[in-house]
Amino acid sequence: MVTIAHEGGHALVAVATGRRLAGVRLHSDTSGVTVSSGRPTGPGVVLTVAAGYTAPSLLGLGAAGLLATGRVSLLLQVIVALLLVLLVVVRNGFGVATVLVSTGVVLGVSWFATDDVQAGFAAYATWFLLLGALRPIVEVQRQRRRRRARDSDPDQLARLTGLPGTFWVGVFGVLSLGCLAGAAAALVV
């Protein structure tokens, strides 16, 4: 789910900034890749690359906002809509299967579960995104330290902006922790 959100973030921002989206691939090792084309430098590519690690936390914060206002059905509908949009651009079998199964699960809960189960499922998905967003940030920094992630998002951002990759890892971490704190404030009252 976090990888789907990560790659979906890249794809959404690529399209929103006018880049041409070639497709998304999701892999069984929880990695993925989003390919877009356009200017090799500039704000569009920077925003597209930065969107991956920020998307799960921002989606989790938005989901928390909907939960806090009691809009569980709307939240589940938004999740299904985002998954279906992503399905159109996924370019590998595992990715298609993953998105279809995820969509089926959310639809099943939406259609057949009681209101309490729907609310519990929506809360689980929200917290999963918020907490799950932190692990990849820690992992990418570990890989960078071992020099195993030379094409990671933070390293691409370093080449594009001149700011060190560690700076970008810090930005992703602070943003994710901020989203987690904001969601906790909205939901744990």
pLDDT surpasses 80 at 165: yes
Q: Residue 116 has what pLDDT? A: 97
Total-model pTM: 0.92
Of 3, 51, 54, which is closest to residue 178 (Cα–Cα)?
54
Q: Whole-angstrom Cα distance, residue 172 to residue 94?
A: 27
Q: What angle do CA 80, 6, 170 make, to 5 degrees?
A: 140
* Helix or strand (DSSP H, E) at 51: helix 43-68
The arithmetic mean of pLDDT across residues 112-116, rounded, is: 97
Backbone angles phi, psi at 32, to 5 degrees: -165, 175
Q: Residue 110 has what pLDDT? A: 96
> Contact at 8 Å (CB) between 25 and 79?
no
Q: Residue 82 has what pLDDT? A: 96
Q: Whole-angstrom Cα distance, residue 9 to residue 51?
A: 5
Q: Whole-angstrom Cα distance, residue 175 to residue 25?
A: 25
The arithmetic mean of pLDDT across residues 14-21, rounded, is: 95
The arithmetic mean of pLDDT across residues 56-65, rounded, is: 97
> Contact at 8 Å (CB) between 23 and 37?
no
The arithmetic mean of pLDDT across residues 56-63, rounded, is: 97
33 pLDDT band, cuts 50/70/90, is very high
